[in-house]
Amino acid sequence: MDAYECIVTKLDFREFSSKEVSSDHKTKILEAARLTQSGENSQHWRFILVQGKERLRTLAKDSEWGKWVENANFAVIVLTDPSLEYHMIDAGRAVQDMELAAWSFGVASCVFTGTKLKPLRRDFAIPENLHPTIIVGFGYPIRTLSGKIRTENRFQKSRS
């Protein structure tokens, strides 16, 4: 799949199959985050890889709007330095790069932002100077769905 197709067909999934994502794909998804550009090339972010049923259950418990992450195959907590005014932009770009890399491997994902901050910080040993800005859950989708339908609909509308 080329970059354009990857972008326009990407859908958010909150339900995942129990199939394991290979460690090769997992590593490449994390590399996509690490190699994303950041403001002033500060690379202030840190990424916490959450995997295994028990840790994912804890992450779900510490979330407000991301309970579905319990059934993801793995998740990444993106920490950024809130003293930098562009820190959320950097987080968004890193997350999008991870999600698009994953989608190109057939791995689905979704993000969430609503967390119970105190328990999350405690359970995942998040340093005081960093903020858990966004969390993304990954896994193979339980259904074969493709965002192609979105682009097809749009093209049909513009033709009629």
On whether the CB atoms of residues 139 and 108 are closer than 8 A, the answer is: yes
Distance CA 153, CA 2 (A): 20
Quote the least distance from Cβ 78 to ligand FMN, whole Å.
11
Q: Phi, psi (5° rounding) for residue 142?
A: -80, -20
Count of positions (residues) in the chain = 160
Is residue 12 involved in binding ligand FMN (CB under 6 A)?
A: yes
Instruction: Give the separation between CA 129 and CA 48, rounded to whole angstroms.
Output: 15
Q: Quick one: 21 or 103, whose CB is closer to ligand FMN? A: 103
CB of 111 to ligand FMN, least distance (A): 5
87-106 residues in contact with ligand FMN (CB under 6 A) are: none
Q: Which of residues 108-147 bind ligand FMN (CB under 6 A)?
A: 110-114
CB nearer to ligand FMN: pick between 12 and 22:
12
Binding residues among 46-85 for ligand FMN as defined by CB under 6 A? 65-66
Cβ-based nearer residue to ligand FMN, 27 or 152:
152
Q: Which is nearer to ligand FMN, 22 or 145 (CB)?
A: 145
**Binding residues for ligand FMN, how many (CB under 6 A)?**
10
With CB under 6 A as the contact rule, which of the stretches 15-23, 25-33, 40-48, 107-115 interacts with ligand FMN?
107-115
Residue 11 in the binding site for ligand FMN (CB under 6 A): yes
Over the Cα atoms of the chain, what is R_g? Answer: 16
Q: Which is nearer to ligand FMN, 24 or 148 (CB)?
A: 148
In the block, tokens 């993000």 appear at: 111
Q: Interface residues with ligand FMN (CB under 6 A)?
A: 11-12, 14, 65-66, 110-114
